[in-house]
Amino acid sequence: MNRVLTSRGILASALLVAGIGVAHAADLNVETLDLSKMSAGWQKPLANKSVAGADLKVAGQTFARGIGTHADSQLAINVFGTATHFSALVGIDDEAEGKGSVVFEIYADGKLKATSGVMHANNKPKRLEADITGAKQIALVAQSNDDGIDYDHADWLEPTLTLNDAAPVKPVAVEAPNLAGVDDEAPLPIFASAKPSAEPQIHGARVVGSTPGRPFLFAVPTTGEGPLKFSAKGLPTGLKIDADTGFITGTLGSAGTYTVALEVRGPRGVARRNLTLIAGAHKLAQTPPLGWNSWNIYYCGVDEDKVRAATDEIVSLGLQKHGFRYVNIDDCWQAPRLADGTIGVNTKFGEMKALGDYIHSKGLLFGIYSSPGPKTCAGYDGSYGHEDQDAKSYASWGVDYLKHDWCSYGGVADGNGPTPMDGLERQKHPYATMRRALDGASRDIVYSLCQYGMGDVWKWGADPDISANLWRTTGDIGPSYASMTNIGFAQSDHALYAGPGHWNDPDMLFLHALKPNEQLTHLTLWSLLAAPLLIGSDLSKATPFTLDALSNDEMIDIDQDPLGHAAERRAQRGSTQVWSRPLWNGTIAVGLFNLGRAKTKVSAKWIELGLRGAQPVRDVWARHDMGRFTDEVALDVPAHGAQYLIIGTPNAADYTAQGR
């Protein structure tokens, strides 16, 4: 790291050399820090260049020094109390073609110290400075105004930290989750009735699929004071329920649709609910998968202990009782293939079969990751040329879910393989190959495509030769509100392609990177989208707020709705949006979103939602009935937050999928 002495520093040094006791100061050019730790809403921040790689230029003036980034962006710097002052000029780079609007802010230990107000393209660079004496951490934040992040090329020009003489440690850029951003508004009162009722209640999927002849495991998700006793009427031949655990296990004999009447008795009452079992080929994931995945928290640092810990936490934190059931290892578990071509497992993991058995012993399911290419995205061996062998290894370990990530397959498709491919064949070939391999294995394995939405995967992912259960619709989600909202609010167009057994996947949850209101936006939107809810966090560090939000059965019930209609955007006004989806019992789920930076009223208008007359409205997050409304319901929504409603009168008490 360079420390650049400015004239002030030189003067202070000179005075000190001369024996005059003034504290001397040195300045640090902030662009010399490790900018890989800095987040951006588009591309990557660059030192001394605009975010698109041109000279830094604002309102016609060129700057040699600075950082070119893109809203929403944050640079967190641990200054360890060694800095006294921060100063920079800020503005929108001229490359933004006269568009874009950004607010630049400086935070010290989470407190807003200076703001530029809204800067528009062509505005002259503005001086932003702050006294940061004593701060442990500062953050430079560039946020979009309320109009989205398009064209928000944000420049920090000549950014300079003044360090005091005592500075024994150097400031260092760090990855920090969304330190600063919107005003810290109180989250919605989701705790109000968050305590699960002592009476038994059954949650999670109402419809579950399985292939006859293959092992089946479904633990009935149930809350309530124990001891609970489970029973089930109408279970098809080959399946049984354990009265104490509520695990339904066995092997279905023949294809068909079965209605199973579940009953759970406890000291505080009885719960009953129908569970539909659909037995047949390619009938898995009748509702979107719920669970956990290692990538968004551990990346390649995943190991067996962490996976076992996540397994235990899904149980001990009660998430299993609300329906979470997959424990998925992402990339970085592999070792080079053995002499006979069997995929190796690296030393961070022991016996995969033992791990699978452990996960199953808790009533949970086991997921794994590979690539159709020769290498995974992290450079481990992929499945190319070994698909059958790998599918058999997975089945022998007890794997229930495969995420299959395109990664290096482009090289094969472009001609490194036997035949170059183009068009749809290029997209489908690798996934059809693994589909055949999975069909040949002795186990039900949910098939998750990860190819970032290429070739409009939602249009062909459910074709019989692929029969994917879910497909990523986008590139990777990142640890920021900007990334989450850029992905989530762009999902309306392919809603119609999602349905039971085949889901759009806007990528995994990143709750630990978000503020409370932003977490509610994430979960409201993802459950409206009928998206898989795969928690990407270290559950041992999850806050009570996050756990309560994840344990909200009404939110999960919407995600798991058996009709499987994904939500679409019904209205957009300024920085607010309204999305809705129909539910099986004739009601609709509605999300009111505020993407802006200040609290505002958002209105759900009947005319936009296809409703008429007086309708009962229920608040999903607060779990209470709000009464009847006519024509519209308008509610305050916090900055970056969401309100979640169910509107309408249920037309049935229980769901059975007869005739589906």
Nearer to ligand GAL among residue 314 and residue 368 (C-beta) = 368
Name 226's Cβ contacts closer than 8 Å, sequence gap at least 6.
Answer: 266, 267
Shortest separation between residue 405's beta carbon and ligand GAL, angstroms: 5
Residue 66: alpha-carbon gap to chain centroid: 32
* Distance from C-alpha of 344 to C-alpha of 363, rounded to nearest angstrom: 26
Nearer to ligand GAL among residue 107 and residue 369 (C-beta) = 369
The secondary structure of residue 343, as a DSSP letter, is P
Query: Catalytic residues, which ones?
Result: 405, 476
Shortest separation between residue 451's beta carbon and ligand GAL, angstroms: 9
Nearer to ligand GAL among residue 11 and residue 378 (C-beta) = 378
∠ CA 565-569-575, nearest 5°, is 150
Strand 290-293 and strand 269-279: the pairing is unpaired
Nearer to ligand GAL among residue 313 and residue 330 (C-beta) = 330
Shortest separation between residue 205's beta carbon and ligand GAL, angstroms: 24
Shortest separation between residue 471's beta carbon and ligand GAL, angstroms: 12
Shortest separation between residue 295's beta carbon and ligand GAL, angstroms: 5
E strands, 165-289, are 172-174, 201-202, 207-210, 215-219, 222-223, 229-233, 239-241, 247-251, 256-266, 269-279
Nearer to ligand GAL among residue 56 and residue 412 (C-beta) = 412
Shortest separation between residue 434's beta carbon and ligand GAL, angstroms: 16
Position 224, amino acid? G
Shortest separation between residue 480's beta carbon and ligand GAL, angstroms: 16
Instruction: Map residue 464 onto helix, strand or coil.
Output: coil
Nearer to ligand GAL among residue 72 and residue 331 (C-beta) = 331
User: Is there a cis peptide before residue 212, judged by omega within 30 degrees of 0?
Assistant: no
What DSSP letter does each residue of 420-431 carry, written as one string? ---HHHHHHHHH
| Residue 256, beta-bridge partner list | 279
The secondary structure of residue 651, as a DSSP letter, is S
Report yes or no: 293 and 405 within 8 Å, Cβ to Cβ: no
Closest among 368, 326, 360 to 343, alpha carbons compared: 368
Name 483's Cβ contacts closer than 8 Å, sequence gap at least 6.
Answer: 41, 477, 510
Report yes or no: 595 and 485 within 8 Å, Cβ to Cβ: yes
Nearer to ligand GAL among residue 274 and residue 408 (C-beta) = 408
Nearer to ligand GAL among residue 463 and residue 476 (C-beta) = 476
* Distance from C-alpha of 451 to C-alpha of 74, rounded to nearest angstrom: 28
Q: Count Cβ neighbours within 10 Å for each residue of 337-368 and write b for 16 or more, e otherwise.
A: eeeeeebebeebbeebeebbebbbebbbbbbb
Q: In what order do the strands lie in the sheet with 642-647?
A: 568-573, 576-582, 588-594, 642-647, 614-619, 624-630
Quick one: tokens of 81? 């109390």
Shortest separation between residue 645's beta carbon and ligand GAL, angstroms: 31
* Distance from C-alpha of 142 to C-alpha of 580, rounded to nearest angstrom: 31
Q: In what order do the strands lie in the sheet with 256-266?
A: 207-210, 269-279, 256-266, 229-233
Q: Which residues bind ligand GAL (CB under 6 A)?
A: 295, 330-331, 376-378, 405, 407, 450, 476
Nearer to ligand GAL among residue 15 and residue 378 (C-beta) = 378
Shortest separation between residue 122's beta carbon and ligand GAL, angstroms: 37
